[in-house]
Amino acid sequence: MIAKRGATSTKTYAVSGSTLDDINKDMLKKGPPDPNESRKYSGSCKGEIVVAIGGSDFAFETTADSSPLEVTATLKAGTITSNSVITIPKLASEKD
């Protein structure tokens, strides 16, 4: 089995405000939603695991004289790839 590091990307969304409290409120208003509940957060990191296994990636061995038939399958190849997307806030104006 081969493990591969896939793509990592970063997405941003614009936030604004004249105080830290205003900026925090804007982040919670515009931030990415939690996929399991309805509230929003200031940022997120979503991961994806891709498993690529084909029929030829297994080795099969039968146990002699077994009743019922006993077969052992061994995974001898295949690929697991992990990808991630990071979402973070970015100030609309960094001058003030």
At 93, is the pLDDT very low, low, confident or very high (cuts 50, 70, 90)?
confident
Average pLDDT value for residue range 90-95: 80
Residue 26, Cβ neighbours under 10 Å: how many?
19
Q: In terms of DSSP bridges, do strands 2-15 and 79-91 run parallel, antiparallel, or are they unpaired?
A: parallel
Please report, as a single letter, which amino acid is at residue 52: A
Residue 44 has pLDDT above 60, yes or no: yes
Residue 2 in tokens: 């081969």
Question: Distance between CA atoms of 6 and 52, rounded to whole angstroms?
Answer: 13
pLDDT of residue 32: 94
At 8, is the pLDDT very low, low, confident or very high (cuts 50, 70, 90)?
very high
Residue 35 has pLDDT above 70, yes or no: yes
The order of strands in the sheet holding 44-52 is 2-15, 79-91, 44-52
